[in-house]
Structure 1
Amino acid sequence: MAPEAEAGRLSSRYRRLVTLVGATVVVILALLIAREFENQVARDLELSATIARERLSAIETVVRIADAHVDGLRAAMERSLGAGAPPRDPRPGAVALRTEAAPVDLLGAPKAADAHRLGTLTVVPSRAHGRAGFAAEADAAFDLFVASGAVHGGNAFLKWSYFFSEARDMVAIYPWMDIAANGPRDVPIIDVFDGYFGYDVYRMVTPAENRASAAVWVPVYFDAGNAGLMVSHNAPVVVGGAFRGMVGTDVLLSALSDRLLAPSMPDLGIVVVDQSGSVVADTDRVAATADRITPAADLLPAALDAIPLGRFVRHGDTYASAVKVAGTPWTAVTLVPAGVVLGDAAFGVLPYCLYLVLLAATLGLAFAAIGRRFVAPAIGLVATIESQARGERAEVAAVPPAWKPWIDRVLALFAEQRATLDSLHRAESKSAAVIDVALDAVVTTDAAGRVVDFNPAAEAMFGIPRADAVGKPIGGLIVPHALREAHEAGMARFGRTRQSHVLGRRVELQALHASGRIFPVELQIHALAGAGDVAYAAYVRDLTEQRAVAAALADQREKLHQAEKLTAMGSLLAGLAHELNNPLAIVTAQTSLLEELASDPPIRARATKIRAAADRCGRIVRTFLAMARKQAPQRSSVDVRAIVTAALDILAYGLRSNGVTVETRLPADLPAVEADSDQLGQVVINMVVNAQQAFGDRTGERRIWVSVGRGDGTVEIEIADNGPGIPEAVRGRIFEAFFTTKPVGVGTGIGLAVCRSIVEAHGGRIEAGERPGGGARFRILLPAATGTLAAPDAAAATAAASDGRRPVLVVDDEHEVAESLADFLELDGCAVTMAHSIADGLAAIAGRRFEVVFCDLRMPGGGGTAFWTEVARRDPALAERFVFVTGDMVAGPETLRGAAAGRPVRILEKPFDRPAIRALLAEVADAGAPS
């Protein structure tokens, strides 16, 4: 590391240390401030809770008074009804019970001056008349008025006190009210009276709802006497175990809300919620002034069950805490704005924040002073020592005067050291430079064979970095496993005897690459004396490329030799095919004629057999010609069945002689394939030959299945055998070039690679797998062309043959071939003129008009192309209606395309048959008759 970098690193470490210490102090103080902030928030919330408890005590006072009042009414009623005393004199102002038609009587209806001290006793005469106990309940009701008047006088928050008879014929209410006037309009008074007994005020204390006969608080409701929203405290009257009625008192919500108002902490909110979730009282008097029962959800920041009892929880912008109101089923929720609480807390910790800023500034100044006076000079001194130790002539850092003598002493010592080392370094650099640029690997080792140096060429040659090689035994790095024992024995022998047959000599042997690859090298080792820890120097040259070049040259010579042989064989095959196709054409034509004209069935049958054999010979010759043809791939719509059949014809003898049975399945309704028929035939031949060779020396049945079928948009060729199959371990590699599992001399390893290349070039794919039942199976999938292969259009051929006696010229130097062709043409209604040389042909066209000319391609005097050229000069229209006859499909088509000069080229291939001749006649006819 450079001195500047080292000094920078020390400075960075000091800054990190200072930052760490300062940050630690700041974080501790910040945590203390945060803790104090939390305590301040807790104190503010506790103060709010205390004020809320003080306000709620006023509510609880109202609850206690109401509870005591109801208990007193209940006790008085139960004593009066349980004593069995006779009825007393009527009360002042009371009237006797009547039985007239009036549905309700108001007993003791007061004068206006007495309304404030008397209650209302409402009776249904038709129900009360004759009921035992009615008089006692009426007397007790008048006592209730007296007791209620005393309590109501000192507690204005009490609205009504009452007694409802279980017989539903009497209701006593204090203070006085006119039921008829306060009830709903247009509603009979008896319905208003009965409605009292349907309220929760009465229903909640009945035995059906209140088995424990306990006093209850009724949820918020609208008063039937139009007094507004209120709550009621009620208790059942039970005498001798029998329910006799209900006593209770009502409290207006406005009275309860008034008692929550507090002059201090105007931001504090209190909401009292009953057991049904309705607001009983609130500091904003929302419930007291509303024209409906206010749900708690309108005033609370969250659901009531989400607010815990006894502690504050923040919900959005509000802190909320709940407590139970003593003596009731109510819950009081205290609400404090979070902004107020947090603002107060922040103001409380503001002094601590100022102390923190001041402390941080102080620490920063102190650390800066220490760094400038002590740390920076020390780092400068270290940097100077570091740079001098490395031999670098860096500028001396500026330091305070007290540090200057130390710097000068260090510089003097290093100046002496540097002068001594410079001369040594110069000598070593020269030697190292020579080794580093050497093209060959140079490896030096100590006496124990451990690597001392490994030049760049050695790193590249063996694939081992110098850092990984130094100090390791040379035998374990570059000597193959098979040669390590001999290497170690030679090292030990040289150590004992100081003699070796390798030292100082060039030897060729095998070396080991880091990847495990073994490659040839040339090695020369020298023993070194007086070279310190270096005992041996090895010079290594990689011979891989040199041997590869030699092998490539030999391979190219062999390939050139094979190419010359193939060229010669192609030429020989073309000539042989021409010579074979001429007699084959005669045999095929004459047997076809014999087959058509013979009247004796046995003769026709024999002619059919002869023609079939001749056709087979013709197909074999055509296939060999196609394989020998030298031309670019030419794709056309081909019949895969015909390609498979031709390939099997070629291989038929070899398969039979090796005892191989071939089964085929070639359905008729197959689509065509856009392909080069020669290449596709090569693929089928290679695959069948591979299947045959896979049997090897196996005994037993040998069978190959070849089938063609239709797939999803494809035509599939499947070739399977019952041989040994393809091992799973090599199945993924069988399509690699030069990979083969066959014995030496049997295969080259390129057949399947070529097959896959041809199939993929046609847009298809080839798959290899196991045949069910054992053996290998290959599937070739090729894209299907549009449409399905059809049989030749017999109607068109027939039409071509029924056009009348066309004048046709046949030019062929082989008399039998010309006559056989003429026989076919005459059967199709043509008037045939034969010529056996170019001169005869020219003489014929000079004296007569012909519609079609059939001319052999190979003839003396220049052949068919020379004749065609001369005809084109004399009669261009006739040159457009030429058909060339040839058995050489290797060079013939290329020769014709070169001489065509843009004119159409039609070829009749030998051996020919009648359908092919008819098709060409129809094609010429479609092109137009001569004018």
Structure 2
Amino acid sequence: MSYPAKILITDDEKGMLLTLSAILEDEGYQVVGCQNGDEAIRYLSTEMGESPVDLVISDLKLTDMSGLAILSHLKQVSSDAAFIVITGNATTETAIEAVNQGAFAYHIKPLDIDALTTSINNALRQKSLLTENRNLLEQVQQSEIKYRTLVEKANAGIFTMEPSTGGFIDVNLKMEEISGRSRESLLNMTLPMLFCSESMQSNAPELLCRTLEQGQASINDLYFERPNGDEICVDLNTTLVEYHGKKVILGIARDVTERKATEEHIRETSKLVSVGKLAAGVAHEINNPLTVVMGFSQILMNQGQPEAVESRLQGIFLEAERAAKIVKNLLSFARKHEPEKQYVSVTTVLERALELKAPDFRINNIALTSQWDQDLPYTMADDNQLIEVILNIVTNAEQAMIEANNGGALVVGASVSEGNIRISISDNGPGIPPERRHEIFDPFFTTKEVGKGTGLGLSISYGIIKLHGGDIWVESDLGIGTTFHIEIPILSPSGVLEIEEPEKQPTPAPDKPMHVLVVDDEANIRKLVASLLSLESCTVDLAENGNEAWHKLQSDFYDCIILDLKMPGMGGEELYWLIEGSNPEQASKVIFVTGDIASQETSKFISGTGNLSLSKPFNIAEFRDLVFQCGSRAKEEAKISPESVSLNV
């Protein structure tokens, strides 16, 4: 494109419109800004003749209409101009709808400017190619020489074929590339022979008949099978034309494999969001009974039992603790976190990732060997992203070993190497062919069957490790196995002195018995907490919901309030704000208890109050310490002196 490309930006957020316009003008583009859909459509209707727009970038959700309405109008006034959707409210359905209606790309706010710039460049290239392709079709009947020269430059597979048989008469270079066959091979084939299955082949007669009857036809999402077994998704468009004095079918095949993979990735992302919501519910429902099992087993063990009983109680506690770790890891992984580097233990990262896969390994006959020192250094990293990388690699290894050997051996090791932490993951699967190794980190590359993988796992992993200033590479021997190596630098928190903290001493009990209110909708949780507090000579009141607790708070001041956050009716957060509004001193005595430890909303609320908090399931020593900390906090003289009352259930 020799002239500066013209880009029309439509966004009802003035700040976003001005910022994006400034960035693109600095890139040398001619930019037109519109603050609503009506203004954009008016501009497209009046200006496209003399000064056409090459690309439209529009917010999906405008105040006066959907961005897709602008896309629809753009297709009416210019079949070549490209369209990019930006949105802050993405759903699977809207994303797929936008792509299917002709949008070139789909970007979610906050925008990744580098990714958007890449999409703009690619869209403008495609627009240029579409213009070339249209011109090609207009000129194909004028001159055979000009036809051949121009068609060979096209970015779509172009071919002519016999209307009666579907046999190829001529093909361009792009058609050779898409099909994976030479021109000579294709001229000895028919169109149905390219399809990857008999069901796909049945589409060919329908395509030919519709072209002969209606003059043109199109079928989307067909799959060509290359000689090496790769399957390529194509959209086919055919037109009946006159060629050398006889009727032939002119066809255009567009490779849409990447588009289909993008749609699949959008669906997978939506599934992960659903898993996150499910995990939050599962965490709450499972962590409550786990709290009861772990708590009462600890109470019984602390009371002294016969050796056989003690051993069984220890087994109950350890297995419940293991289940709690699984729930915690699932919840942390399923939640979508913004990249956030913290000073983390690589040992803990490895353990959390492998705990998530442990059930699958047992079921699928995968023998796991862990080889690392427990004193591996800490480093600055996003632990959730590192877990994602490890899970991507070990899951690929697991699937490869199952397909090849019905199981196998996986070795995960870690060590320090020249200022870096190196993680190595080895399997004894089939290995990766040498000609494929340079492609495995490419987006959308996959060796799995259609529908069984997006080909994005290793590409995402590569990006994550590079963002950490590290490196990732693969070594493989066919028939022996594959090893992935990950290296990340050992970094200390800037400006933070590493001081070994003294061992924390338990908080002593207050001078006088505490008066405690326990608010939880689970009866067994209330009984457990009451039992723990009774052992410490506390006076305990119980409430099964926020309304009952609020009623009790009208007549008593409590030294401590154990408050569950997630309850039917009035939840813990609503009750807290009621207490804060009426008696800030009493509100400072609240200890929040939650089973949804990975929720960013929950963490933000708790940190904003400055109160103590406890995650379910909890250790009774930790629980006791927090209660005593709460009771030891200095408080102003209460307006209502707590009465010494018995346990109320």
TM-score normalised by the chain length of structure 2: 0.58
How far apart in 1 are the matches of 2:557 and 2:156? 83
1:914 to 602, 606, 620: 620
**CA separation of 1:878 and 1:677: change in aligned 2, threshold 3 A:** farther
| Aligned pairs (5 A) from 1:503-522 | 522=238
1:708 to 414, 431, 452: 414
- State the partner residue of 1:281: none
Residue pair 2:430, 2:478 contacting (<8 A) in 1 also: no
Report the Cα offset of residue 724 of structure 1: 2.5
- State the partner residue of 1:929: 634
Residue pair 1:797, 1:922 contacting (<8 A) in 2 also: no
What is the SS of the residue equivalent to 1:767? strand
How far apart in 2 are the matches of 1:659 and 1:437? 56
More relative contact order in 1 or in 2 (CA 8 Å, sep 6+)? 2
Residue pair 1:800, 1:921 contacting (<8 A) in 2 also: no
Report the Cα offset of residue 687 of structure 1: 1.9
Instruction: Establish whether residue 482 from structure 1 lines up as the match of residue 185 from structure 2.
Output: yes
How far apart in 2 are the matches of 1:716 and 1:828? 48
Structure 2 residue runs of 5 or longer lacking an equivalent are 1-131, 158-168, 176-182, 191-208, 225-231, 637-649
Report the Cα offset of residue 612 of structure 1: 0.8
Residue pair 2:516, 2:559 contacting (<8 A) in 1 also: yes
How far apart in 2 are the matches of 1:789 and 1:741? 48
What is the SS of the residue equivalent to 2:490? strand
Report the Cα offset of residue 586 of structure 1: 0.1
How far apart in 2 are the matches of 1:792 and 1:803? 31
Instruction: Establish whether residue 586 from structure 1 lines up as the match of residue 292 from structure 2.
Output: yes
**CA separation of 1:722 and 1:567: change in aligned 2, threshold 3 A:** closer
Q: Deviations over 1:281-310 (max 9, x none)?
A: xxxxxxxxxxxxxxxxxxxxxxxxxxxxxx
Residue pair 1:800, 1:925 contacting (<8 A) in 2 also: no
Cα RMSD of the aligned pairs, angstroms, is 4.6
1:884 to 592, 597, 618: 592
Structure having the higher Rg: 1
Instruction: Establish whether residue 442 from structure 1 lines up as the match of residue 158 from structure 2.
Output: no
How far apart in 1 are the matches of 2:586 and 2:305? 39
1:873 to 565, 581, 596: 581
Instruction: Establish whether residue 605 from structure 1 lines up as the match of residue 308 from structure 2.
Output: no
Instruction: Establish whether residue 894 from structure 1 lines up as the match of residue 601 from structure 2.
Output: yes
Residue pair 1:722, 1:775 contacting (<8 A) in 2 also: yes
Report the Cα offset of residue 677 of structure 1: 3.2
- State the partner residue of 1:412: none
- State the partner residue of 1:127: none
How far apart in 2 are the matches of 1:922 and 1:719? 46
| Aligned pairs (5 A) from 1:201-216 | none
The one-letter code matched in structure 2 to 1:522 is T
The one-letter code matched in structure 2 to 1:778 is F
How far apart in 1 are the matches of 2:269 and 2:440? 26
| Aligned pairs (5 A) from 1:619-768 | 619-699=325-405, 702-744=408-450, 746-768=452-474
Q: Deviations over 1:364-393 (max 9, x none)?
A: xxxxxxxxxxxxxxxxxxxxxxxxxxxxxx
Instruction: Establish whether residue 461 from structure 1 lines up as the match of residue 164 from structure 2.
Output: no
**CA separation of 1:754 and 1:826: change in aligned 2, threshold 3 A:** farther
How far apart in 2 are the matches of 1:789 and 1:600? 48
Report the Cα offset of residue 869 of structure 1: 0.6
How far apart in 1 are the matches of 2:539 and 2:580? 22
Q: Deviations over 1:823-863 (max 9, x none)?
A: 44565686654433324433554455444432101223321
The one-letter code matched in structure 2 to 1:625 is L
How far apart in 2 are the matches of 1:901 and 1:659? 44
Residue pair 2:380, 2:492 contacting (<8 A) in 1 also: no
The one-letter code matched in structure 1 to 2:546 is I
How far apart in 2 are the matches of 1:922 and 1:441? 85
| Aligned pairs (5 A) from 1:838-853 | 838-853=546-561
Residue pair 2:364, 2:407 contacting (<8 A) in 1 also: no
**CA separation of 1:436 and 1:895: change in aligned 2, threshold 3 A:** closer
How far apart in 2 are the matches of 1:908 and 1:655? 32
How far apart in 2 are the matches of 1:923 and 1:481? 83
2:242 to 507, 526, 529: 526
**CA separation of 1:674 and 1:882: change in aligned 2, threshold 3 A:** farther
What is the SS of the residue equivalent to 1:798? coil
**CA separation of 1:590 and 1:673: change in aligned 2, threshold 3 A:** farther
- State the partner residue of 1:81: none
Residue pair 2:133, 2:154 contacting (<8 A) in 1 also: no
Report the Cα offset of residue 663 of structure 1: 1.4
How far apart in 1 are the matches of 2:250 and 2:479? 56
Q: Deviations over 1:203-232 (max 9, x none)?
A: xxxxxxxxxxxxxxxxxxxxxxxxxxxxxx
- State the partner residue of 1:571: 277
What is the SS of the residue equivalent to 2:506? helix
- State the partner residue of 1:814: 522
Residue pair 1:445, 1:536 contacting (<8 A) in 2 also: no
Report the Cα offset of residue 649 of structure 1: 2.5
Report the Cα offset of residue 611 of structure 1: 0.6
The one-letter code matched in structure 2 to 1:442 is Q
How far apart in 2 are the matches of 1:752 and 1:814? 43
Instruction: Establish whether residue 769 from structure 1 lines up as the match of residue 475 from structure 2.
Output: yes
TM-score normalised by the chain length of structure 1: 0.42
- State the partner residue of 2:570: 862
- State the partner residue of 1:835: 543
Report the Cα offset of residue 694 of structure 1: 1.7
The one-letter code matched in structure 2 to 1:622 is K
How far apart in 2 are the matches of 1:714 and 1:921? 42
How far apart in 2 are the matches of 1:705 and 1:803? 55
- State the partner residue of 1:411: none
How far apart in 1 are the matches of 2:145 and 2:413? 68
How far apart in 2 are the matches of 1:661 and 1:789? 41
Q: State the percentage of identical aligned residues.
A: 29
**CA separation of 1:626 and 1:583: change in aligned 2, threshold 3 A:** same
**CA separation of 1:871 and 1:915: change in aligned 2, threshold 3 A:** same
What is the SS of the residue equivalent to 2:402? coil
**CA separation of 1:437 and 1:656: change in aligned 2, threshold 3 A:** closer
The one-letter code matched in structure 2 to 1:796 is K
Report the Cα offset of residue 778 of structure 1: 1.7
What is the SS of the residue equivalent to 1:461? coil
Structure 1 residue runs of 5 or longer lacking an equivalent are 1-434, 465-473, 488-500, 512-516, 529-534
What is the SS of the residue equivalent to 2:393? helix
**CA separation of 1:841 and 1:749: change in aligned 2, threshold 3 A:** same
The one-letter code matched in structure 2 to 1:842 is W
**CA separation of 1:567 and 1:835: change in aligned 2, threshold 3 A:** same
Q: Deviations over 1:880-925 (max 9, x none)?
A: 443221213355x41463x569422544221111354356458768
Q: Which moved more, 1:613-622 or 1:826-835?
A: 826-835
How far apart in 2 are the matches of 1:767 and 1:578? 39
The one-letter code matched in structure 1 to 2:561 is V
How far apart in 1 are the matches of 2:614 and 2:460? 32
How far apart in 1 are the matches of 2:323 and 2:333? 16
Q: Deviations over 1:243-294 (max 9, x none)?
A: xxxxxxxxxxxxxxxxxxxxxxxxxxxxxxxxxxxxxxxxxxxxxxxxxxxx
Residue pair 1:444, 1:536 contacting (<8 A) in 2 also: no
The one-letter code matched in structure 2 to 1:440 is L
How far apart in 1 are the matches of 2:299 and 2:509? 16
| Aligned pairs (5 A) from 1:239-254 | none
